[in-house]
């Protein structure tokens, strides 16, 4: 039966008329275009979400614990460092690191400019991995380094606006009772690309903030927790709140603290779904059109096969098999083009963006093998299932009329 099937298919669909060849090429091109656009869209959306999320989590951590009466980073309530979760929570499955922080709002004054700022202090447990990647000049502050008191890191955007550079001294006024003035030496300049954060925050030793707030060395603004898998952020936040948090404290995820950015990232998923649906429809329409034309052009052949005892199901399988080959060819070409363009973008950064608006200088690309596999299998399966409908046109062909059909 397999031999008969192979021979019949070869005879039935060999020597395609010129018009049929053209239609097949159009169908292959449509499938290739659909796959190419799907891969590029999925890789770009995934890249945006991954790149921006990593920046936010690298700067803030995944979960923050603080006094719920605080004003979220501007004038915080003192929290004792002696908590049952610090630093033992690092032993909790899924938790990678915990560190303390303290905040103090102030105003930078130079000869010609003034700028509001929030000075963010970190201690000896500060994970410098992310900020080290963001350094533009200078070096990271080492907590407890007394070789030069009151060192500070400022952002590139702040340095540009105030015309500052590494090793410059700046004066910061802290509004409190009584008001205090401190001179800091710029130890380094960083740039995360998160403009709304960069223009607002500076980084210093936590001891400087504790001194300004008249806090002891055991008082901080809160704790930042880093977890292993960002997909577990909501579950981990709930577990920490239920099992570790004491009186007057609250644990919030970065998605809860900065919902606007993450809502914007979620909107990218909607754009991705729309593109996937539209490209699938394009592929289906082109393949259905190609199959219908192939059936109509092979009406005489269908009649001959029926007179030889071929069933409608057998003939449909011939056309669906040929349609599957067309779809597969389009998928292979689409993967080659789509993955090739994504590789060129990741390697050479051909598409550049306004970092102030998109938080990245170059359109990021992230290859997700599972997504690419699902796209390929999904397009093949959906197209073949939908093509079952036009393939039933075979059963409408009368052998006697078909043999006389020209």
Among 203, 219, 247, the domain-final residue is 247
Residues 152 and 219 in one domain: yes
Residues 121 and 36 in one domain: no
What does the H/E/C string look like for 230-294?
HHHHHHHHHHHHHHCCCCCEEEEEHHHHCHHHHHHHHHHHHHHHHHHHHHHHHHHHHHHHHHHHH
The two structure tokens encoding residue 118: 């929030």
Provide, rounded to the nearest whole percent, the portion of the chain with pLDDT above 70.
89
Structural domain boundaries, residue 11: 2-55+262-403
Q: What is the pLDDT of residue 23?
A: 80
Q: Kindly report, residue by residue over 93-104, the tens digit of the pLDDT.
A: 999 999 999 999
Residues 74 and 221 in one domain: yes
* Gap between the Cα atoms of 162 and 158, Å rounded: 6
Q: What is the pLDDT of residue 81?
A: 93
Q: Kindly report, residue by residue over 342-397, the tens digit of the pLDDT.
A: 999 999 989 998 887 888 889 999 989 999 999 999 999 998 888 888 777 766 66
Residues 321 and 397 in one domain: yes
* Gap between the Cα atoms of 213 and 219, Å rounded: 10
The answer to whether residue 60 is domain-embedded is: no
Q: What is the pLDDT of residue 399?
A: 60
Place 1 in a pLDDT band, splitting at 50, 70 and 90.
Answer: very low
* Gap between the Cα atoms of 77 and 290, Å rounded: 69
Q: What is the pLDDT of residue 262?
A: 84
- pTM for the model: 0.81
Among 217, 247, 277, the domain-final residue is 247
Residues 84 and 231 in one domain: yes
**23-32, 73-82, 89-98: least confident range:** 73-82
Residues 197 and 74 in one domain: yes
User: In total, how many domains does the chain have?
Assistant: 2
The answer to whether residue 63 is domain-embedded is: no
Could you tell me which residues come within 8 angstroms of residue 312 by beta carbon, excluding any fewer than 6 positions away? 392, 394, 395
Residues 86 and 208 in one domain: yes
The answer to whether residue 118 is domain-embedded is: yes
The answer to whether residue 387 is domain-embedded is: yes
Provide, rounded to the nearest whole percent, the portion of the chain with pLDDT above 90.
44
């Amino acid at each position: 039966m397999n031999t008969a099937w192979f021979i019949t298919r070869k005879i039935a669909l060999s020597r395609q008329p010129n018009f049929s060849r053209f239609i097949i090429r159009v169908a292959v091109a449509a499938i290739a275009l659909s796959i190419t656009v799907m891969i590029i869209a999925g890789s770009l959306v995934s890249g945006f979400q991954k790149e921006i999320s990593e920046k936010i989590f690298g700067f803030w951590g995944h979960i923050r614990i603080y006094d719920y009466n605080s004003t979220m980073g501007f004038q915080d309530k003192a929290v004792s460092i002696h908590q049952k979760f610090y630093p033992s929570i690092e032993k909790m499955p899924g938790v990678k690191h915990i560190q303390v922080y303290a905040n103090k709002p102030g105003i930078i004054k130079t000869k010609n400019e003034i700028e509001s700022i929030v000075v963010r202090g970190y201690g000896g447990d500060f994970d410098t991995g992310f900020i080290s990647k963001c350094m533009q000049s200078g070096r990271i502050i080492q907590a407890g380094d007394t070789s030069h008191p009151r060192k500070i890191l400022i952002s590139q955007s702040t340095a540009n606006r105030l015309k500052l550079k590494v090793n410059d001294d700046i004066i910061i006024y802290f509004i409190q009772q009584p008001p205090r003035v401190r001179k800091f030496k710029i130890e380094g300049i960083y740039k995360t690309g998160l403009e709304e954060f960069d223009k607002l925050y500076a980084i210093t030793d936590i001891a400087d903030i504790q001194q300004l707030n008249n806090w002891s060395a055991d008082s901080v603004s809160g704790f930042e927790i880093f977890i292993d898998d960002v997909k577990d952020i909501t579950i981990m936040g709930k577990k920490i709140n239920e099992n570790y948090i004491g009186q007057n404290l609250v644990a919030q995820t970065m998605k809860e603290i900065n919902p606007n950015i993450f809502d914007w990232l979620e909107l990218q998923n909607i754009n991705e779904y729309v593109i996937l649906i539209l490209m699938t429809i394009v592929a289906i329409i082109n393949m259905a059109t190609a199959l219908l034309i192939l059936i109509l052009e092979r009406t005489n052949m269908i009649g001959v096969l029926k007179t030889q005892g071929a069933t409608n199901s057998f003939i449909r399988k011939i056309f669906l098999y040929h349609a599957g080959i067309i779809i597969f060819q389009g998928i292979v070409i689409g993967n080659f083009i789509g993955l090739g363009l994504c590789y060129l973008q990741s390697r050479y950064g051909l598409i550049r963006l306004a970092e102030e608006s998109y938080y990245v200088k170059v359109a990021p690309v992230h290859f997700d093998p599972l997504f690419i596999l699902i796209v390929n299998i999904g397009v093949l399966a959906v197209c073949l299932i939908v093509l079952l409908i036009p393939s039933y046109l075979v059963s409408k062909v009368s052998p006697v009329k078909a043999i006389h059909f020209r």
